[in-house]
Amino acid sequence: MQVAIVGAGTMGADIAQAVALGGDAIILHDIHEHTLRQALGRISRGIDRGVSLGKIDPVIARRAKRVFTLCTDLARCAAADLVIEAVPDDLDVKQTVLRALDDIVRPDAILATSTNVLSLTVLAAATRLPERVVGLHFFKPAAIMRLVEVVRGDLTRQDAIDGAVALAQRMHKTPIVVRDAPGLIVNRIAQAYFGEALGLLDEGGLDAPAVDRLMEAAGFPMGPFRLLDFVGIDSAFDAAQTLFEATYHTAPYRPHPRLRRMIDAGLTGRKNGRGFYSDG
């Protein structure tokens, strides 16, 4: 299968790495040539790291590095069987990209969006063939995390879902088909997880490390505050704000004021080494 990925930022590059290791040919598009070169370097280093850790077969690694075509001209995506747009989570930007792809790719090609906060049905409505639009929500880092939420919009055809599921399986991911809904499944649960943990801090008696130790001892891979630092406190706040508005101000998804204060103070988590934990 020929897979096109539009947007070569961190998420796009990580998705491209996983697709390459699954054996599909890739057209990697970005409007900036230097972004494409940076993405290819990131992908190569990620594959090499997997080989050094014994997680990637060297033969597969060598093959994966040879499947890329880089381009700044969106028209080069016309040959793709499936296109994944991985541009920033801005409604206007994503709709513009999907409209442009709708005019370029074959009618039988699948259009996928990587959004985790915007409505798939609303995005698909920007195209002439909304029934071929599907969501592929990857989790950071997408090159490593196995779960993929395959999102069915109100008009998505079953063959589009089947094609997206098959791609995820070739990437050695675990695809779970979900319906289009605010926050999907994982983000919806995560926001409630964060909200309850932040409420415990407000009540006093427990600090962030104590809550994390308790949850990790209970079997969670990462406590809520380590996870907030990992995903980015600003990203978590924005996701909560979007979910709160999309669910008509449902109380459990209300963004916590502590997160807003931390963002204003420049505490955004691992991305700058200052959050609930500090890198020094």
Which is the catalytic residue, given 32, 137, 172, 256?
137
d(CA 130, CA 153): 9
- SS3 track for the chain: CEEEEECCCHHHHHHHHHHHHCCCEEEEECCCHHHHHHHHHHHHHHHHHHHHCCCCCHHHHHHHCCCEEEECCHHHHHHCCEEEECCCCCHHHHHHHHHHHHHHCCCCCEEEECCCCCCHHHHHCCCCCHHHEEEEEECCCCCCCCEEEEEECCCCCHHHHHHHHHHHHHCCCEEEEEECCCCCCHHHHHHHHHHHHHHHHHHCCCCHHHHHHHHHHCCCCCCHHHHHHHHCHHHHHHHHHHHHHHCCCCHHHCCCHHHHHHHHCCCCECCCCECCCECC
User: Is 78 within 8 Å of 104 (Cβ atoms)?
Assistant: yes
Q: Is the peptide bond before 141 cis (omega within 30 degrees of 0)?
A: yes
Annotated active-site residue 137? The verdict is yes
Q: Give the integer Cα–Cα distance in Å for 145 and 174.
A: 9
Instruction: Report whether 91 contacts 122 (CB < 8 A).
Output: yes
User: Phi first, then psi: what are they for 5, rounded to 5°?
Assistant: -125, 120
Q: Which residues are catalytic?
A: 137
